[in-house]
Each structure stands twice: as C-alpha cells, then as structure tokens.
Structure 1
Amino acid sequence: MRTIDPAKHAARRQHIVHAASELFATQGFERTTTAQICKAAGMSSGNVFHYFPNKRAIFIALLQDDKDAKTERLARAATEADPWTALLDVVQFLAAPAAEPLAPPLVMEAMLQAHRDPELAELLSQDSTAEHTVIAELLTKAAATGQIDPDLDPDNTASWVMALIASMYTSAATEASFDPAGQLPTLLLILQRFLRGEPHAHRRSATTEEQRTGGSAVT
C-alpha cells in the first residue's frame, strides 16, 4: 500500500483550490466547470477527483482555506490585555482581505450559493458566529474598562461592526472606484468615533460654550 505524504497531499489540494479560485471569482460557481478547473490546475480529472469528490467540495475548501488561521487569530485576540486595541486589530484583520482582487467577488458568490446550499449556509453561519462572539466579547471588556461607551449593547454593536466590515467586500465587488485599502483607515476612524463617543463629547462642549457666550464657540 502506497504511503501518502501529508505535506504533498495538502500542497496538491491547495494547488487545485488556488487554480479554481480565479475561475469561481470571475465566472461564478455555476458557470465554472470541472474541466476548466482541471485545465487551470494542469491536472487530469482523475487526478483532481483524487483530492476532491466534486466541484462543490473545491468551492467549500476555498472558502474554508484560512479557517484555522482565523480561529487562532480570533482566540488570541479574545485574551489580549487591551480589548480596545484587540478589537481594532480584529476589525483590520477581517476587513483587510477586501483589498485582494479575488476576495470580494468570492464573498459575494459564497453568499449567493448559501441561499441554495444549506450546508454551505451553515458553514458561513458558523464563521459569522465565531467572529460576532469575539467582537461582542471585546466590546464588553472595552466597556467595562471605560474604553468605549458603556451604553452600547455589545451584541447589537457587534452586528453593526460586522455589517461595516461586510460593506467593504460588497462595495469592492460592486463599485469599480471603491478602494478597500484606502477606505480601511476611514472604517477604523468611524468605529473609533462611534464606539468611544468622542465627537459627541466635543459637540456637547461646543454647545455649552455657545450657550454660555451667546455665540459660536471657537473649536
């Protein structure tokens, strides 16, 4: 019986996934054929099917490609001593791939396919839940340490944070002029001002000064 080299086996699987990624991103799942994947990978169909039973398995492997690294990164963030810094790091970590050319269309295609594939929908839901849990936990800790507005509900706020991250991908996929890398600092600034309530405090101070002087406060 031939011994399987785990490293070589994983490398072959990764090669197939990488070859399929551009096809899925540019053509979509439905219009991409196994023959096209085999050609892009430079492998026979028998070789490809040795590593994946079908096209769907390749697509799921692509979407789960970084799952272990993401799980480790989120787990590490949840234990950081400074929850505010950890939160911003998590947001940047989750949003940064939107700047990669293939990531936004693949995310959009995954969302489309999830409506047709309950198993895929469950996998995406698990990923989303894991992200939401860590973000909500960091928000709770940040509120407890006085780093953000304590009146914000952690679960609801985590949902809004994730919605803003998701908008990076949808905007990149649908708007040719949208620059995810250039917009990331703006996303972080929006979160900072929303979560910490800094501009609200500034406006209250300005309003108080205007009322006291009867005119416009100098800012």
Structure 2
Amino acid sequence: MRTVDPAKHQARRRHILNAATGLFAAKGYERTTTAEICKTAGISAGNLFHYFPNKRAIFLAVFDEEGHDKAERLAQARDADDPLQALMDLVDYLAAPAVEPVVPALVMEAMVQAYRDPELEALLSRGNADEHAAIAALLTRAAAGGRIDPGLNPDSTATWITALIASVFTSAATSPGFDPADQLPTLRLILTRFLQAKPHNS
C-alpha cells in the first residue's frame, strides 16, 4: 500500500494555496477557475482534486490555514510578561500582512464572499473574535498594571484597535496612494498616544 509523506503532502497543498491566493486577489473568487489554478501551480486537475474537492474548498483553506498560525501567535501574546509591549507587537503582527501586494485585495474579496458563504463568514468571524479577545485581555492587564489609561473600556478599545487595523487593509486595497509600509509606524504612534495613562492631578 502506498504511504503518503505528510511533509510532502503539506508542501504540495501549500504550493496550491499560494498559486490560488494570487489569482483570487488579482481576479476575484468568481472569475478564477480551477483550470487557472492548475496552470499556475503547474499541476493537473486530477492532482488538484487529490488535495481539494473544489474551488470553494481552496478559498476556505486559504483563510483557515492562516487562522491556525494566527491562533498560536495570539496565545503567545496573551501569555507575555509585558502586556503593553505584547499588545503593540500584536498590532504590528496583525497589520503587517497589508504590506504584501496580494493580501489587501484578498481580504476585500473574502469580505465580499462572506456575505454569500455562511461557512466563510463563520470562519472570519471566529478569527476576528479571537483577535478582539486577545487585544481586550492585554488591555485589561496593561490597565491593571498602570501601563495605560485605566478609564478605557477594554472591549470598546479593542473594537477600535481592530477597526484601525482593518482600515489599513481596506485603504491599501482601495486607495492607490496609500502605502501600508509608510503608515504602520503612524498607526503604532496613534495607539501609543491614545492608550497612555492619564497624568495624576496634583
């Protein structure tokens, strides 16, 4: 009986996802065909369907696999010794993919498709909820330690932080003059000044 090498299987699966990601970002989900994915990946249709049953499964996998990596990073942030530094590092981590050429367009396409696909919508919502929870937990710890303004509501503040991160992606996708790499330091500065603890009145 033929055995499957898990490492090779995962590498080929990742290769297919990388090929599909560029197409989904450039052409959109609806206009991308499995034939184009096969051609870009340099594989046959039979080989493609050995890894994914259809195009929708490929699109879902693009975001599902990214979610696994993110979950580990969120867990590390929540356990960090310095909650404020961990928060700022987490913001950098979550916003950094906007610098990659295909990612903002891919994120916008996912938002469009989520309206039509409940499974994708649930997948993205879980990811957003996990990010929000991690940020809120770090804000709570930072406030308790006197590192940020204790008057800030952690949940509301986490909502605004995630909204600002999301705006980096939407601006990169819709505004030709917007350069995420140039704007990320400004995002960090805005958050640092917003979060800083109020001075005590003498």
TM-score after normalising by structure 2: 0.96
Partner of 1:137: 137
Aligned-residue offset at 1:45 = 0.7
Partner of 1:87: 87
Distance in 1, matches of 2:18 and 2:79, equals 33
Distance in 1, matches of 2:183 and 2:68, equals 27
Higher relative contact order (CA 8 A, sep 6+): 2
SS at match of 1:3: coil
Partner of 2:147: 147
Partner of 1:61: 61
Gaps of 5+ in 1: 206-219
Matches within 5 A, 1:61-210: 61-196=61-196
Structure 1, residues 32-76: CA drift from partner, whole Å, max 9, x if none?
A: 011111111111111100100000111111112332221111101
Structure 1, residues 125-147: CA drift from partner, whole Å, max 9, x if none?
A: 11011100000000000111111
Distance in 1, matches of 2:159 and 2:67, equals 20
Partner of 1:12: 12
Distance in 1, matches of 2:51 and 2:92, equals 33
Structure 1, residues 156-207: CA drift from partner, whole Å, max 9, x if none?
A: 1100000000000000000111110110000000001111156xx6xx99xx
Relative to structure 2, which stretch is displaced further, 59-68 or 172-181? 59-68
Please say if 1:44 is aligned against 2:44: yes
Maintained 8 Å contact 2:171/2:178: yes
For 1:93, give the aligned amino acid: Y
Distance in 1, matches of 2:178 and 2:122, equals 30
Distance in 1, matches of 2:19 and 2:119, equals 23
Maintained 8 Å contact 2:148/2:196: yes
Distance in 2, matches of 1:123 and 1:67, equals 9
For 1:111, give the aligned amino acid: M
Distance in 1, matches of 2:66 and 2:23, equals 19
For 2:146, give the aligned amino acid: G
Distance in 2, matches of 1:122 and 1:179, equals 30
SS at match of 2:161: helix
TM-score after normalising by structure 1: 0.89
Gaps of 5+ in 2: none
For 2:97, give the aligned amino acid: P
Percent identity over the alignment?
63
SS at match of 1:29: coil
For 2:63, give the aligned amino acid: L
SS at match of 2:116: coil
Alignment RMSD (CA, Å): 1.4
